[in-house]
Chain A
Amino acid sequence: MTDTHVEPRRANETGVPDPFPYMHPVLKKNYGNWKWHDRLRPGVLHHVSQDDEEVWTVRAGTQRQMDVHTIRTLCDIADMRAEGHVRFTTRSNIEFMVSREDMVAPLIEALEAEGFPIGGTGNSVSMISHTQGWLHCDIPGTDASGVVKSLMDDLHKEFVTEEMPNRVRITTSCCQINCGGQGDIAINVQYTKPPVIDHDLVANVCERPAVVARCPVAAIRPALVNGKPSLEVDEQKCICCGACYAPCPPMQINSEESTKIAVWVGGKHSNARSKPTFHKLAVAGLPNNPPHWPEVGEVVKKILYAYKENGRDWERLGEWIERIGWPRFFELAEIPFTRFHIDDFRGARESLNASAHVHF
Chain B
Amino acid sequence: MTKKKHETPLLDELQGGKWPSFVDGLKRLANDEDKQYSGMMNDLLGQLEHSYKTKLGYWKGGTVSVFGYGGGVIPRFSQVAEDYPESSEFHTLRVQPPAGMHYNTELLRNMCDIWEEHGSGLIALHGQSGDIMFQGCTTENVQKAFDDLNEIGLDMGGAGPALRTSMSCVGHARCEQSCYDEVRAHRTIINAFLDEMHRPALPYKFKFKFSGCANDCVNAIHRADFAVIGTWRDDMKVDQEEVKKYVTEVGRKYTIDNVITRCPTNALSLNDDDTLEVDNPSCVRCMHCLNVMNKALSPGDDKGVTILIGGKRSLKIGDQMGTVVVPFLKLESDEDYEKLEEMAENVIDFFAENALEHERIGETIDRIGLTNFLDGVGVGIDPNMVNHPRTNSYVDTSEWDQEAAKWLERKSDNSTKTAAE
Contacts and interface: CB of A to CB of B under 8 A. Distances in A.
Q: Which residue of A85, A134, A290 has the most chain B CB atoms within 10 A of its CB atom?
A: A134
B153 interface: yes
Contacts of B90: 136
Given A63-B19, A71-B112, A178-B314, A16 B60 contact: no
Nearest to B180: A32
Interface string A61-75: 111111111111011
Contacts of B51: 134, 143
B262 A136 contact: no
A182 interface: yes
B221 A136 contact: no
B254 to A, nearest CB: 8
Interface residues of A, number: 116
A305 B95 CA distance: 39
Contact of B178 (A24, A34, A36): A34
Interface stretch (A6-14, A98-106, A329-337, A352-360): A6-14
Nearest to B56: A254
A243 B313 CA distance: 12
A145 interface: yes
Contact of B105 (A11, A36, A79): A79
Contacts of A161: none
A278 B319 contact: yes
Given A19-B99, A181-B223, A70 B55 contact: no
Interface string A295-334: 0000000000000000011100000000000000000000
Given A182-B219, A272-B214, A16 B187 contact: yes
Contacts of B286: 271-273
B329 interface: no
Interface string A155-181: 010000000000000000000111111
B288 interface: yes
B135 interface: yes
Given A87-B102, A139-B57, A15 B222 contact: no
A13 B150 CA distance: 9
B177 to A, nearest CB: 9
Given A149-B22, A178-B314, A138 B57 contact: yes
A134 B176 contact: no
Given A15-B155, A65-B135, A314-B262, A138 B166 contact: no
Interface string A33-56: 011111000000001000000010
B244 interface: no
B216 to A, nearest CB: 5
A292 to B, nearest CB: 7
Contacts of B29: 67-69
Interface in B109-166: 109, 111-112, 115-116, 121-126, 128, 130, 135, 143, 146-147, 150, 153-156, 166
Interface stretch (B6-14, B371-379, B413-421): B6-14
B68 A11 contact: yes
B305 to A, nearest CB: 13
A19 B96 CA distance: 11
Given A66-B25, A149-B19, A35 B98 contact: no
Interface residues of B, number: 125
A35 B52 contact: no
B295 interface: yes
B408 interface: no
A3 B190 CA distance: 40
Across the A-B interface, the 10 shortest Cβ-Cβ residue pairs: A153-B17, A67-B25, A271-B214, A19-B98, A134-B51, A152-B19, A15-B191, A8-B67, A68-B112, A75-B105
14 contacts: A10-B67, A18-B187, A23-B100, A35-B176, A67-B26, A70-B25, A78-B105, A116-B20, A138-B61, A143-B48, A181-B222, A214-B316, A271-B285, A276-B216
Given A23-B102, A34-B174, A92-B126, 10 more contacts: A14-B150, A17-B99, A22-B98, A32-B181, A34-B176, A38-B295, A72-B112, A143-B52, A271-B229, A290-B55
